[in-house]
Amino acid sequence: MKRSYLLVAGVAVAGLVAACGDSGTPSQSKPSATAASSAPAQAASAAAPKAVTVDREMLAAFAPLPKEAPNAKNPSTPEKVELGRQLYFDARLSKNHDVSCNTCHDLTKFGVDNKPTSPGHKGQLGTRNSPTVYGAALHFRQFWDGRAEDVEEQATMPITNPVEMAMPDEKRVVETLTSIPQYVEAFKKAFPEDKEPVSLANVGKAIGAFERTLLVRGKWDKYLEGDESALSESEKAGLVAFMEAGCQTCHAGPMLGGQNYQKLGSVRPWGESKDQGRYDHTKVDTDKMLFKTPTLRNIAKTGPYYHDGSIKDLSEATTKMAIHQLGKNLSEQQTRAIVRFLEALTMDAPPAELIKAPEAFPSTDKTPKADPS
């Protein structure tokens, strides 16, 4: 493995930070005319970012965002995706008609609600932070504890969760959807081979098909594909600091995460935690404190952080991860550099047609009423 890039970029990290720092106590003596005339040039030189050279062989741990996230068990069709879009925004999939998928995973807010934990039915709070839906289809499992196989299965589970959308059962879901003629027709088109196309499973398949289109690229993808100008020198220096610290051990692949479970506090104990991660689902002792590694894409926009949303500041979240997962105490300089890189993982603005809520199909007199109980 080549390590030469560390020296070049390590100097750059120091230079970039020093350029923004205090130069010390000014001299009290009067500067000479020569010194005064050269001061602007020296200041400009000091402020200019140092060139950073990154060995591209070191980028093999990562990959650009793919253009598609197919599921062989749920082939995508335009009709299925459009139905999924309609369902994603429809709060009538909740008992009181006030919570939709988009409530907690707001497509205009990078796929989150920026709350520690999300309020659901009757304002009840969940116990875990709502992760971003952008790119979620590329994760190897769904939820922090991985209890759902894919986005299709995941999409069905909040609907009947009493804390989240609180529908009493699948029967109520089907009753609601079949009371609306436009939904009946849309399900027939999306699932033409099914004798009973309106079902909770097909709700999940449709929403999953829509979520599989939520793949929005950014400057990071351009850089990985060879565009050196896509990242600034300070962002490249942050990338080097990120790799030098060993963050890519867990945060790799196209999503920089979402590909494995990691024990929270694997090097230095995390401390007391009521939430035991995957163990709470499996009851297997070795699963205690195991959580799915979150994606770092859009991380600068999707706080607060961790499974419980307990940390608001990205710098603090970064330093704590280094301590507990890597056994390293980052300097302020290293932390600033890494955060600068993390900010570069923000996607471009998504297409308006992708995130705009469609006009809701009108209810009928047969549609179950909102139930706040």
The pLDDT > 70 percentage for the chain reads: 87
Domain co-membership, 96 together with 150: yes
What region, left, alpha or beta, does residue 283 occupy, with left being phi > 0 and alpha being psi -120 to 50 degrees? left
pLDDT digits (tens, 9 = 90+) for 112-122: 999 999 999 99
Read off the pLDDT of each residue in 131-148 and give the average, rounded to a whole number: 98
Rounded Cα–Cα distance for residues 54 and 64 (Å): 17
Rounded Cα–Cα distance for residues 249 and 145 (Å): 19
| Whether the predicted pLDDT of 26 surpasses 80 | no
Instruction: Assess if residue 208 is contained within a domain.
Output: yes
Read off the pLDDT of each residue in 25-54 and give the average, rounded to a whole number: 53
Instruction: Assess if residue 361 is contained within a domain.
Output: no
Q: What CATH number is associated with residue 328?
A: 1.10.760.10
Domain co-membership, 208 together with 94: yes
Instruction: Assess if residue 281 is contained within a domain.
Output: yes
What is the number of structural domains in the chain? Answer: 2
Domain co-membership, 223 together with 323: yes
Question: What pLDDT does residue 27 have?
Answer: 36
Query: Is the alpha carbon torsion for 57, 60, 64, 67 positive or negative?
Result: positive
Question: What pLDDT does residue 362 have?
Answer: 98
Q: How confident is the model at residue 300 (pLDDT cuts 50, 70, 90)?
A: very high
- Which of 167, 194, 215 marks a domain boundary? 215
Rounded Cα–Cα distance for residues 303 and 104 (Å): 13
| Whether the predicted pLDDT of 17 surpasses 80 | no
164 is catalytic: yes
Domain co-membership, 142 together with 267: no
What is the rounded (10 degree) CA torsion for 233, 235, 237, 238?
170
| Whether the predicted pLDDT of 46 surpasses 80 | no
Domain co-membership, 227 together with 179: no
Which amino acid belongs to residue 364? T
Range of the domain at 210: 78-215
Rounded Cα–Cα distance for residues 218 and 10 (Å): 25
CB 112 within 8 A of CB 302: yes
Least confident of 36-50, 81-95, 266-280, 284-298: 36-50
Residue 16: both structure tokens together: 């970039």
- Taking the model in full, what pTM does it have? 0.88
Q: How confident is the model at residue 34 (pLDDT cuts 50, 70, 90)?
A: very low
| Whether the predicted pLDDT of 372 surpasses 80 | yes
Q: Please report how many Cα atoms fall inside a 13 Å half-sphere around the Cα of residue 81, on the Cβ side.
A: 15
Instruction: Assess if residue 46 is contained within a domain.
Output: no
Higher-confidence residue of 47 and 283: namely 283
Domain co-membership, 274 together with 230: yes
| Whether the predicted pLDDT of 269 surpasses 70 | yes
Domain co-membership, 196 together with 288: no
| Whether the predicted pLDDT of 31 surpasses 60 | no
Question: What pLDDT does residue 50 have?
Answer: 79
Least confident of 28-42, 90-104, 202-216: 28-42
Domain co-membership, 92 together with 130: yes
Instruction: Assess if residue 43 is contained within a domain.
Output: no
Residue 352: both structure tokens together: 């308006």
Instruction: Assess if residue 322 is contained within a domain.
Output: yes
| Whether the predicted pLDDT of 49 surpasses 80 | no
The pLDDT > 90 percentage for the chain reads: 85
Read off the pLDDT of each residue in 361-373 and give the average, rounded to a whole number: 98
- Which of 192, 215, 238 marks a domain boundary? 215
**What DSSP line would sit under 25-72, residue for residue?**
SPPSSPPPHHHHHHHHHHHHHHHSPPP----GGGGGGB-PPPS----T
Q: How confident is the model at residue 15 (pLDDT cuts 50, 70, 90)?
A: very low
Domain co-membership, 247 together with 294: yes
> Buried b / exposed e across 99-137, counting CB within 10 Å, b at 16+?
bbbbbbbbbeebbbbbebbbbbbeeeebebbbbbbbbbb
Question: What pLDDT does residue 47 have?
Answer: 53
Domain co-membership, 206 together with 237: no
Rounded Cα–Cα distance for residues 288 and 281 (Å): 10
Give the Cβ contact number of residue 358 at 10 Å: 13
Instruction: Assess if residue 35 is contained within a domain.
Output: no
Question: What pLDDT does residue 359 have?
Answer: 97
For the chain, what is the mean pLDDT?
Answer: 90
Question: What pLDDT does residue 96 have?
Answer: 98
Rounded Cα–Cα distance for residues 353 and 198 (Å): 26
Domain co-membership, 223 together with 209: no
**What DSSP line would sit under 257-324, residue for residue?**
S-SSEEETTSSS-----S--BTHHHH--GGGTTEEEPPP-TTGGGS-SBTTTT-B--HHHHHHHHIII
What is the rounded (10 degree) CA torsion for 145, 270, 133, 313?
170
Active-site hit among 82, 152, 164, 235: 164
- Which of 168, 195, 215 marks a domain boundary? 215
Domain co-membership, 272 together with 169: no
Instruction: Assess if residue 29 is contained within a domain.
Output: no
Read off the pLDDT of each residue in 14-28 and give the average, rounded to a whole number: 39
pLDDT digits (tens, 9 = 90+) for 64-107: 999 999 999 999 999 999 999 999 999 999 999 999 999 999 99
